[in-house]
Amino acid sequence: MFEGLTNKLQAVFDKLSKRGVLSEADVDAALREVRLALLEADVHYTVVKDFLDACGSARWAPRSANICLPHNRSLKIVYEELITTLGKPAPLDLSGQPPHVMMLVGLQGSGKTTMAAKLGLRLKGSAATAVVAADTYRPAAVTQLQVLGKQLDLPVHSEGTQVPPPQICRNAFQPRGKRLMAR
Ligand SMILES: Nc1nc2c(ncn2[C@@H]2O[C@H](COP(=O)(O)OP(=O)(O)O)[C@@H](O)[C@H]2O)c(=O)[nH]1
Ligand SMILES: [Mg+2]
């Protein structure tokens, strides 16, 4: 998702950079393209609206003036508002008693499973790490995680698609011996 969004935003600012100083029409056109890029990336329309209000043309130049500002200033406005909207990057907080559970939230196909495997790969050097295949609904979701686990040498806890997901998650926390005995 971020790759597609990055490319689209990059294209908007590449276009602006060719113009040097921007007119109000340039700014409006660019903001329309930013809006489309965000909506196509499945960003909720109210978030897009708040985002565009925050970096709206009022910040770019007084409405009366037809000449606005150099494009690098426009890039800064959008960049700052993107950080405010997405939140600043923060290190993973793994303090406290393990096991640590991470929840990845997103629409289907937005990269949660892939990100889970990437996180597993990143953390496996410093902690005992496993991924749990608890998506029993989506076709091949369990196999997808098993394939990723094999590629990255990550333990995968899976119980097929007939056990309820909360039970699979609970079982994943049992020590292996106890888990096998409970069957
Ligand atoms: N290019 C690219 N593709 C990705 C990335 N993350 C996931 N994908 C692909 O996007 C598709 C959906 O990813 P998946 O992790 O299954 O999404 P989920 O439905 O949220 O679990 C898969 O084909 C992934 O290979 C990424 O960072 N870059
Ligand atoms: Mg998935």
Q: For the chain, what percent of residues have pLDDT higher than 70? A: 84
Non-local (6+) Cβ contacts of 120 within 8 A are: 129, 130, 131, 149, 152, 154
Pairing of strands 156-158, 131-133: parallel
Q: Are residues 8 and 80 in the same domain?
A: yes
The residue type at 53 = D
Instruction: Give the residues across from 158 on adjacent strands.
Output: 133
- Give the nearest ligand 1 atom to 107 CA: 20
Q: Are residues 45 and 117 in the same domain?
A: no
Output the pLDDT for position 125: 82
Ligand 2 centroid distance, CA of 107 (Å): 9
pLDDT confidence tier of residue 182, bands split at 50, 70 and 90:
very low
Output the pLDDT for position 10: 83
Q: Are residues 130 and 176 in the same domain?
A: yes
Q: Are residues 6 and 82 in the same domain?
A: yes
Indicate whether 59 belongs to any domain.
yes
Ligand nearest to the Cα of 141, by number: 2
Counting the structural domains of the chain, the total is 2
Ligand nearest to the Cα of 107, by number: 1
Non-local (6+) Cβ contacts of 118 within 8 A are: none
Separation between Cα atoms, residue 99 and residue 37, nearest integer Å: 38
Ligand 1 centroid distance, CA of 57 (Å): 35
Q: Are residues 74 and 9 in the same domain?
A: yes
State pLDDT tens for residues 20-69: 677 777 778 888 888 998 888 888 899 888 888 887 655 655 554 455 55
Q: For residue 176, give its domain range.
A: 112-182
Output the pLDDT for position 117: 93
Q: Are residues 117 and 73 in the same domain?
A: no
Instruction: Give the residues across from 133 on adjacent strands.
Output: 158
Who lines ligand 1 at CB under 6 A?
3, 106, 108-114
How confident is the model over 90-119, as a mean pLDDT?
86
- Answer whether 0.75 is exceeded by the pTM: no
Instruction: Give the residues across from 156 on adjacent strands.
Output: 131
CATH number of the domain enclosing 22: 1.20.120.140
Question: Mean pLDDT, the chain, as a whole number?
Answer: 81
